[in-house]
Amino acid sequence: MTHQTTTLTHPTRSHPPTAVVTGGSAGLGRAVVAALAADGWQVITDARDGDRLTAAVQAIRAEVPNARITQLVGDITDADHRAALAVAVDAAGRLDLLVNNAGVLGPASGEGRYRRLVDVTAEDVGYLWRHNVGAPLVLTALLLPRLVANGGTLLSISSDAALEHYQGWGLYSASKAALDHLTATFHAENPEIAAYAVDPGDMRTAMHQEWFPGEDISDRPLPESVVPHLLGLIADRPPSGRYRAADLPPATSTRPTSPQEV
């Protein structure tokens, strides 16, 4: 396989590489925001919980004093919030990376997220599809012209559930399979961009704990351990497709071997 090439509008000091990372207040999203900020990126991120998002950004800035982070509180299922993200991108001057990370594990109704398909309601389907499929679809479509203009990268966080058949998690699994398909189709329709669906593997996150309520998940790796593989993906820009993070060569930076930043 050959690596993808495209004519890029290279970042400059006044317009550094810019990323939008949805769901940046915790877990893998927060880890990606921190790593990109440390690598010199301008990062636009959001979350539904404003207090948690502010705490996360403050902690990152304490570790990365010169971090360029724009935080927006809101839900990507809301059109006004998506419009605000687009305004932030225009203010940044470019878009090089969109990370579709935000999502939900299961139906909002009931006491737990576990739900056999025979018990799924139309409302459950609408909730999962709106958050895990519809919102990333319309956000990507909204930001696509900015991404295409810079030959950027679309990165959708997937799951092994997109390929497996886990009892009680069929709705979540189907939503991730749909997101994989949409991500691949965005590339097929827009070959100027690279598009990846990446299964990060099991991680020690709140969402993973929801999957295993009451169980000890302290043996799972922290999301920060996945980030070097995502940085390597962005830096190496292999053919668009679906990847397991564990199979990607890790890197400490997204910068190319011969930087063209001026």
pLDDT for 182-222, tens place per residue? 999 999 999 999 999 999 977 656 666 666 677 776 777 78
Q: Report the predicted TM-score, pTM, of the whole model to 2 decimal places.
A: 0.89
Residue 49 clears pLDDT 90, i.e. is over it = yes
Residue 150 clears pLDDT 60, i.e. is over it = yes
Residue 233 clears pLDDT 80, i.e. is over it = yes
Tokens read off for 261: 């930043």
C-beta atoms surrounding 45 within 10 Å: 30
Average pLDDT of the residues in 51-77: 96
C-beta atoms surrounding 260 within 10 Å: 10
What pLDDT shows up at residue 7? 40
CA angle (131, 191, 241) in 5-degree steps = 60
Mean pLDDT of the chain: 89
Average pLDDT of the residues in 43-54: 96
Q: Is 158 a catalytic residue?
A: yes
Mind giving me the DSSP string for 30-60?
Answer: HHHHHHHHHTT-EEEEEES-HHHHHHHHHHH
Active-site hit among 25, 156, 158, 173: 158
Q: Is 14 a catalytic residue?
A: no
What pLDDT shows up at residue 222? 83
Residue extents of the structural domains in the chain: 18-247
Average pLDDT of the residues in 81-102: 97
What pLDDT shows up at residue 255? 79
CB burial readout 81-92, b (16+ within 10 A) else e = bbebbbebbeeb
Active-site hit among 127, 172, 196, 243: 172
Q: Is 172 a catalytic residue?
A: yes
Identity of the amino acid at 75: D
Give 260's pLDDT tier (boundaries 50, 70, 90). Answer: very low
Q: Kindly report the CATH number that applies to the domain delimited by 18-247.
A: 3.40.50.720
More confident residue, 6 or 237: 237
